[in-house]
Amino acid sequence: MGTLGKIARRTFLIGTGLVAGGLAVGYYYYRRPYPNPLEGELTDGEVTFNPYVKIAPDNSITLVAPRAEMGQGVSTTLAALVAEELDVRLDQVTVEHGPAGHAYANTTMLEEGVPFPHFDESTIAELMRSGMAVAGKFLGLQGTGGSTSIVDGYYRMRQAGAAAREVLKLAAAKRLGVEPGTLWTSDGVITDPASGKILTYGEVAAEAAALAPPSEIRLRDKADWKILGKPQKRIDMRAKVTGAPIFGIDVRLPEMLFATLRMNPYRGGPIVGLDAGAAEKMRGVVKVIRLETGIANGFAVIADNTWRAFQAADAVQAEWGKGAYPPDDAGIFDAFDQALRSGDASYGRDDGNVETAFADAPRERIVEAEYRVPYLAHATMEPMNATAQLKDGRLDIWAPNQMPTLIRQLAAKAVGIETENCFVHTTYLGGGFGRRSDVDYAIYAALVAKETEGRPVQVTWTREEDTQQDMYRPAAVGRFRARLGEDGLPVAIDMRIAAPSIIASILPRYFPSLSPIGPDKSITDGSANQPYTIANYRVGGVKAPVAIPVGFWRSVGNSFNGFFHEGFLDEIAVAGKLDPLDMRRKLMAAYPTAINVVDKVAAMSRWGETLPAGKAKGFAFTLSFGTWVAQVVQVADVGGRIRIEKVWCAADPGQVMDPAIFEAQMMSGIVYGLSSAIGEEITFADGAAQQSNFHDYGPMRMFQCPQIEVGLLETAHRMGGAGEPGTPPAIAALANAVHALTGKRIRSMPLSKEVEFV
């Protein structure tokens, strides 16, 4: 940790030295800054060309998609990027996640961590982005998050395919005594059109792997793509419709034990007393151990099956010390309100002069509102779990996770071995949504494995534990005011938002010696960086000092700022007697991509057409993770309850690698957002979360799910993500539709506290 600590401290300061340092990003093949992690994993006769391609003599071809597959289709699309240039069909390759390795660092994820709006491409923003990318490479963080996988892989995966193809051609050319430029490649075969001779990739792989790729490799023109840009069959679909054992919870190893854990429900509190006497006598119980970590404190029960471990955990008597935060919602939100009133704000945006604009504003021209959202759980369908084995100084961890290199480092440290003796096997994830970019479950499993004398042990959390020990989406509050001009358009908007800092919660969990500095842009993400032009426009974020653990939740700060910003704009439109969609178009005039998606969704939803009585529509727009998204939600009154009938979504991510998968991601993001809006909430009483399972934390069910229509555009000039941008506008568009239907302006989530949904 020593050196890493120093580097990390520098880089979180966005180290000036590193910005100038100029480690080339994405040119692995030429510079080889990291060893190829596949070298150590080859089977008989197999060779590897770079960290993404392995080929065996029988022409079986393996591609590595080093990002967590949690449903977003990333394994298919990353493989497609390699396959396109390698000239193989997706149905003739095997796709693996591959080992944890620094060669697979996600540089885009860090690039997008800089405090500049996505559309700001001024020199300083670009410089900061490239600086962060270098830092990401330097730290070797392999992560899946921030909707970055495809953006990150777009060049380097295609380069990997092309580089391998070129050396295969070189090897074939040597063998055939012809010029490599005369050879054709397709479907994993090299053809010499002059002689009609054919060689498979496998036949020349061993010779090819020894050759250096040419220094210039031209990637194919988009017009020549055979796979990219077209819908592909997902490579994981068959496994997923046959119930195949592909998830973390399905890992089965010889001699494996089963365990579960219970951590202090007063988050961060200590263990005061623990009596496991009765539990240890129960059938099948091996032992009960204390788990005391910098993340949480509690105990684990090791048994010969999961159910017996669950039963015995219930029988342990634990006395828990309290957490360092107010015990109930009243106290918690008081702390938020106090931060909002008197905390130091950092301004993600400050155009014009807001104070002057409000100083002489006539009362009737001012709109004011306060908004609030609760903590939320991720509630992945597969509860947290990990399997670990510590034997002869080697630690293996099998885990559905979004951060393998971080696990490797921290789990090794937890059991006192060197990082290089820890091996992380990333399984399929039964949902991630950001929860699995925390790594608590893996560290706990490593600690449990310390107690099983070399036997592997699977640690499965109950749903109750998963709900109560989540790293929640932060609650947030906001106070907003606007001054309207004579034409009804806002001449000034002032937003102040208070929420806990996610990075300030995460860093000390895993790197207690690091202290995050500077503003946390996630607090204003989705409000401070939207493509609107308003003469006086200020958005400030205040860190709310509440110590309940928080983490990344699908779309992060955008998940509440989308609601705050777009809900408030809807109020402004109503006050200014303007059509809310029209008003947006006027304010977005400087951003053609925004106008494009707004116009598209207006056409798709027939915005402006009169609806029958008892139906209404709401609109919202959010640019997040580089993707421009406009949505319209239609609701209907059915006997006093509200049914969400239909959602239209227009999205522009610049380039779409797989339209079917992209559309599915938009749909998924929309359902995830709507689900939170119609009934999800984590509340606190007596120091603990009050919700525990799906009966009191209720996600959307099929009968509540609207029809969803997605339209895609490719006009933005930078490439955006897929996994998250669908979520933020859905929440706001629903709230705005509910207002249009009922006249009720609901400013706090979930909406179900004030209206009833079907």
Partner 1 sequence: MKLNVNGRDHDIEVEPEMPLLWVLRDKLSILGPKFGCGIAQCGACTVFLDGEPVRSCSVTVGEVSGAVTTIEGLMPDGRMHPVQQAWIDEQVAQCGYCQAGQIMTAVALLEAIPNPSDEEIDNAMSGNLCRCGTYPRIRAAIKRAASANAGA
Footprint of ligand FES (CB under 6 A): 71, 381, 431
Q: Which whole-number Å values give the CA distances from 327 to 273, 505, 515, 685, in the listed order? A: 20, 18, 26, 6
Of positions 667, 690, 714, 718, contacts partner 1 by CB under 8 A: 667
Touching partner 1, residues 63-122 (CB under 8 A): 69-73
Nearer to partner 1, 244 or 324 (CB): 244
Nearer to ligand FES, 326 or 673 (CB): 673
Of positions 296, 302, 493, 670, contacts partner 1 by CB under 8 A: 670
For 377-530, strand residue ranges (E) read: 385-391, 394-399, 422-426, 457-460, 476-484, 490-499
Least distance (Å) from partner 1 to the CB of residue 481?
35
Of positions 111, 236, 440, 571, contacts partner 1 by CB under 8 A: 236
Spatial distance between the Cα atoms of 565 and 585, rounded to a whole number of angstroms: 15
* Residue 149 makes contact with partner 1 by CB under 8 A: no
Spatial distance between the Cα atoms of 458 and 112, rounded to a whole number of angstroms: 35
Q: Pick the stretch among 449-457, 593-601, 671-679, 741-749 that binds partner 1 (CB under 8 A).
A: 671-679
Nearer to ligand FES, 306 or 421 (CB): 306
Nearer to ligand FES, 433 or 568 (CB): 433
Least distance (Å) from partner 1 to the CB of residue 671?
3
* Residue 10 makes contact with partner 1 by CB under 8 A: no
Reference 739, options 594, 605, 602, 567; nearest CA is 567
Q: Six-digit token pair at 631?
A: 């949505």
Report strand pairing: 457-460 vs 257-263: parallel
Spatial strand order of the sheet with 285-292 comes to 285-292, 297-303, 257-263, 457-460, 385-391, 394-399, 422-426
Spatial distance between the Cα atoms of 489 and 482, rounded to a whole number of angstroms: 10
Of positions 84, 111, 112, 250, contacts partner 1 by CB under 8 A: 250
Q: Report the amino acid identity of residue 88.
A: V
Spatial distance between the Cα atoms of 519 and 609, rounded to a whole number of angstroms: 44
Q: Six-digit token pair at 320?
A: 């828990």
Taken in order 617, 623, 629, 630, the sign of the CA dihedral is positive
Q: Which does 109 bind (CB under 5 to 8 A by kind): ligand FES, partner 1, none?
A: none
Nearer to partner 1, 47 or 303 (CB): 303
* 3-state secondary structure at position 697: coil
* Residue 305 makes contact with partner 1 by CB under 8 A: yes
Q: Pick the stretch among 142-150, 332-340, 611-619, 703-711 that binds partner 1 (CB under 8 A).
A: 703-711
* Residue 386 makes contact with partner 1 by CB under 8 A: no
* Residue 664 makes contact with partner 1 by CB under 8 A: yes
Nearer to partner 1, 354 or 730 (CB): 730
Packing angle between helix 404-415 and helix 440-449, nearest 10 degrees? 40
Nearer to partner 1, 196 or 243 (CB): 243
* Residue 604 makes contact with partner 1 by CB under 8 A: no
DSSP 318-384: EEEPPPSS-SSHHHHHHHHHHHHHHSPEEEEEEES-HHHHHHT--GGGEEEEEEEE-BB----SSPS
Spatial distance between the Cα atoms of 95 and 642, rounded to a whole number of angstroms: 44
Q: Pick the stretch among 94-102, 200-208, 365-373, 698-706 that binds partner 1 (CB under 8 A).
A: 698-706
Least distance (Å) from ligand FES to the CB of residue 109?
22
Least distance (Å) from partner 1 to the CB of residue 303?
10
**Residues near partner 1 (CB under 8 A):** 69-73, 233-234, 236-247, 249-250, 252, 258, 283, 305-307, 310, 379-383, 428-433, 460, 462-463, 660, 664, 667-672, 675, 693-695, 699-703, 705, 707-708
